[in-house]
């Protein structure tokens, strides 16, 4: 053997021995931590992460679904997206348009000095509308994350049609909302009213008050934790009433500029001529489908024409008078659980049906329960607020029940209808808190359906118009996406009312005007009494 070859053999042997030794020590040190789990992975020297639980996996999927192009946290205001300098053009313009066709609009965003933006993440509301026909339909937006977006619209009525593109928040404002959602869960707080032997004390309460001396409470239905600062002179079990506390001013003056109302929900100017859409007999498959659970929700999910909502999910009906509503609800027990936007539905039905009378339950407070019965047609409609965190007037702790525990206390009554919603009061908290609440509700829904698969369960989606108290439609759409995904595998109905508020001619409002509420309730009734 040549000396050089010998040298190579020697080096290789050394390498082999060293490699073996190295590997052995790796296994040694690894096995000290995981004595029963030595496998091939140990070769790389990296310890495997423990397998994620199904809950962790679901949460990760949900967070992926709500992923957004989050801009860098803003520096100078002048560099953020401005509705004044941004613009849009109609792609592939044609001399005429026909119902059933889609059109596309290219949105180009610029900063306050008119310089093109190079990243995405802006939040828009886009719609087609016709004031004379009281018509409106939402479009959908695609973000190319380079300062351009396309908005796509379906032409669904004949005649004059205009385009509206509103910048709800700049991507910089979204970055602030996104950051504060997780970093400041204390931005909204609550009061706990303690009382015993004539002594009273009011303290701060929330899901968590880290590092503070607290009393802990656990919900019977879901096991969820709630805490109040420990009262100075009273025991934890003298917690009597809950109320809204207040909002903390968590934004500095720079941040406030990005979220100020003069830069929120602003129309991007344009001088496009209205489109003239020719009529045609478009086939609207949804129009022939009975309104039942589990139907796919297309985008757009419907549109307004003469102020009436025409669903593209199924053949929805319009209930012209009280007696048509009463004959739909006859023989049924309708239980509603949720927030004040669902209470509006209860109020509408009670106002609309003369034979339906509210029973005074002698509650001083507005979280209910509210009960109305129609003895002529033999049905009842009840609403009660979902559990804390409620930003509502003072209410007895004992009158606040979680949706999960309410569902667990309902049996297999004939013709029972459950309608619930859960959204607005969770906006300002990290998404995980919302997911945990919905999980508790979803488990209870499954248990209820095991007892009686015939029960109709309807879930009201979020609506647009939350423009105050740290709120934003962007925070709402994030939660709404989570809710739709979490209930997508169950035989329940999602009542999609998001677009019913986002494309109506009235200004958006967290508590929509009567004309919208009537359409929402009619959609609900269409699913309760499909024709």
Ligand X SMILES: *[C@@H]1O[C@H](CO)[C@@H](O)[C@H](O)[C@H]1NC(C)=O
Which residues of the shown chain bind ligand X in the complex (CB under 6 A)? 73, 144, 146-148, 196-197, 252-255, 280-281
Q: Would you say 176 or 445 has its CB closer to ligand X?
A: 176
Q: Would you say 177 or 431 has its CB closer to ligand X?
A: 177
Q: Find the shortest distance in angstroms from Cβ 180 to ligand X.
A: 9
Q: For residue 288, what are its two tokens?
A: 């022939």
Q: Find the shortest distance in angstroms from Cβ 147 to ligand X.
A: 6
Specify which residues 128 forms β-bridges with.
137, 163
Contacts of 55-61 with C-beta under 8 Å, sequence gap 24+, read: 55/439, 58/435, 58/486, 59/432, 59/435, 61/485
CB-based contacts of 351, cutoff 8 Å, min separation 6: none
Q: Would you say 236 or 295 has its CB closer to ligand X?
A: 236
Q: How many residues does the chain have?
A: 531
Q: Find the shortest distance in angstroms from Cβ 61 to ligand X.
A: 26
Q: Find the shortest distance in angstroms from Cβ 173 to ligand X.
A: 12
Q: Find the shortest distance in angstroms from Cβ 156 to ligand X.
A: 16
Q: Would you say 147 or 440 has its CB closer to ligand X?
A: 147
Three-class SS state of 304: strand
Q: Is the bond leading into 369 cis (omega within 30 degrees of zero)?
A: yes
- Contact at 8 Å (CB) between 400 and 388? yes
Q: Find the shortest distance in angstroms from Cβ 230 to ligand X.
A: 15
Determine the Cα–Cα distance for residues 83 and 109; give it in Å rounded to an integer.
8
Q: Find the shortest distance in angstroms from Cβ 170 to ligand X.
A: 15
Q: Find the shortest distance in angstroms from Cβ 82 to ligand X.
A: 17
- Contact at 8 Å (CB) between 250 and 184? yes
Q: Would you say 148 or 405 has its CB closer to ligand X?
A: 148
Q: SS3 letters for 230-256?
A: CCCCCCHHHEEEEEEEEECCCCCHHHH
Determine the Cα–Cα distance for residues 390 and 410; give it in Å rounded to an integer.
23
Determine the Cα–Cα distance for residues 248 and 75; give it in Å rounded to an integer.
23
Q: Side by side, which strands form the sheet with 102-111?
A: 81-90, 102-111, 148-154, 140-143
Q: Would you say 143 or 406 has its CB closer to ligand X?
A: 143
Contacts of 127-131 with C-beta under 8 Å, sequence gap 24+, read: 127/153, 127/163, 127/164, 127/502, 127/503, 128/153, 128/155, 128/161, 128/162, 128/163, 128/164, 128/503, 129/161, 129/162, 129/164, 129/503, 129/505, 130/157, 130/159, 130/160, 130/161, 130/162, 131/162, 131/505
CB-based contacts of 352, cutoff 8 Å, min separation 6: 322, 325, 518, 521
Q: Would you say 251 or 295 has its CB closer to ligand X?
A: 251
Q: Would you say 332 or 470 has its CB closer to ligand X?
A: 470
Three-class SS state of 428: coil
Q: Would you say 53 or 197 has its CB closer to ligand X?
A: 197
Q: Find the shortest distance in angstroms from Cβ 148 to ligand X.
A: 5
Q: Would you say 108 or 324 has its CB closer to ligand X?
A: 108
Q: Find the shortest distance in angstroms from Cβ 116 to ligand X.
A: 7
Q: Is beta strand 456-460 parallel, antiparallel or unpaired with respect to 416-420?
A: parallel
Q: For residue 495, what are its two tokens?
A: 């009542």
CA distances from 327 to 280, 324, 355, 379, 502 (A): 35, 5, 11, 10, 31
Q: Would you say 109 or 427 has its CB closer to ligand X?
A: 109
Q: Find the shortest distance in angstroms from Cβ 385 to ligand X.
A: 30
| CA angle, residues 50, 440, 481, in degrees to nearest 5 | 85
Q: Would you say 122 or 219 has its CB closer to ligand X?
A: 122
Q: Would you say 183 or 293 has its CB closer to ligand X?
A: 183
Q: Find the shortest distance in angstroms from Cβ 502 to ligand X.
A: 25
Q: Which residue carries 């509650």 as its tokens?
A: 363
Q: Find the shortest distance in angstroms from Cβ 201 to ligand X.
A: 13
| CA angle, residues 472, 369, 410, in degrees to nearest 5 | 100
**Max Cα–Cα distance, the chain, nearest Å:** 110
In which region does residue 407 sit, left (phi positive, over 0), alpha (psi from -120 to 50) or beta (all else)?
A: alpha
């Amino acid at each position: 053997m040549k000396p050089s070859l010998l040298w190579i053999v020697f080096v290789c042997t050394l390498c082999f021995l060293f490699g073996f030794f190295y590997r052995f020590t790796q296994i040694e040190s690894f096995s000290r931590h995981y004595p029963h789990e030595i496998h091939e992975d140990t070769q790389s020297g990296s310890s495997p992460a423990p397998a994620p639980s199904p809950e962790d996996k679901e949460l990760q999927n949900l967070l992926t679904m709500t992923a957004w192009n989050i801009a860098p946290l803003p520096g100078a205001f002048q560099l953020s997206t401005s509705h004044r300098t941004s613009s849009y053009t109609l792609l592939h313009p044609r001399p005429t348009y026909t119902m059933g066709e889609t059109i596309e609009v290219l949105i180009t965003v610029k900063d306050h000095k008119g310089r093109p933006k190079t990243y995405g993440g802006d939040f828009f509301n886009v719609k087609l509308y016709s004031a004379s026909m009281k018509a409106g339909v939402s479009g959908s937006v695609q973000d190319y994350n380079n300062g351009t977006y396309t908005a796509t619209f379906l032409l669904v009525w004949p005649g004059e049609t205009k385009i509206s593109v509103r910048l709800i928040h700049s991507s910089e404002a979204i970055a602030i909302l996104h950051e504060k959602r997780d970093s400041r869960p204390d931005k909204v707080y609550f009061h706990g009213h303690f009382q015993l032997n004539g002594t009273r004390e009011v303290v701060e309460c929330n899901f968590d008050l880290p590092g503070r001396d607290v009393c802990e409470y656990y919900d019977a239905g879901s096991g969820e934790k709630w805490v109040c600062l420990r009262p100075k002179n009273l025991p934890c079990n003298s917690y009597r009433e809950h109320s809204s506390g207040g909002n903390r001013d968590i934004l500095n003056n720079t941040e406030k500029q990005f979220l100020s109302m003069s830069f929120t929900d602003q129309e991007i100017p344009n001088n496009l001529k209205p489109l003239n859409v020719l009529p045609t007999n478009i086939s609207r498959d949804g129009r022939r489908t009975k309104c039942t659970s589990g139907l796919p929700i297309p985008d757009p999910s419907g549109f307004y024409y003469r102020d009436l909502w025409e669903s593209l999910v199924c053949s929805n009906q319009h209930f012209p008078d009280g007696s048509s509503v009463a004959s739909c609800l006859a023989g049924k027990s309708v239980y509603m659980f949720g927030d004040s936007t669902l209470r509006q539905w209860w109020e509408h039905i009670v106002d609309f049906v003369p034979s339906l009378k509210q029973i005074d339950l002698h509650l001083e407070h507005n979280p209910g329960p509210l009960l109305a019965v129609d003895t002529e047609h033999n049905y009842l409609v009840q609403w009660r607020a979902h559990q804390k965190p409620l930003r509502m007037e003072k209410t007895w702790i004992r009158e606040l029940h979680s949706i999960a525990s309410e569902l667990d206390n309902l049996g297999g009554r004939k013709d029972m209808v459950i309608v619930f919603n859960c959204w607005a009061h969770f906006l300002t908290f990290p998404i995980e808190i919302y997911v945990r609440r919905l999980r508790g509700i979803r488990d209870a829904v499954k248990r209820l359906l095991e007892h009686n698969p015939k029960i109709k369960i309807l879930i009201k989606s979020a609506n647009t118009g939350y423009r105050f108290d740290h709120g934003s439609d962007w925070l709402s759409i994030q939660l709404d996406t989570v809710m739709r995904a979490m209930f997508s595998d169950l035989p329940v109905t999602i009542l999609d009312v998001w677009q019913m508020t986002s494309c109506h001619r009235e200004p958006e409002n967290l508590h929509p005007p009567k004309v919208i509420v009537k359409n929402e309730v009619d959609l609900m009734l269409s699913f309760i009494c499909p024709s």
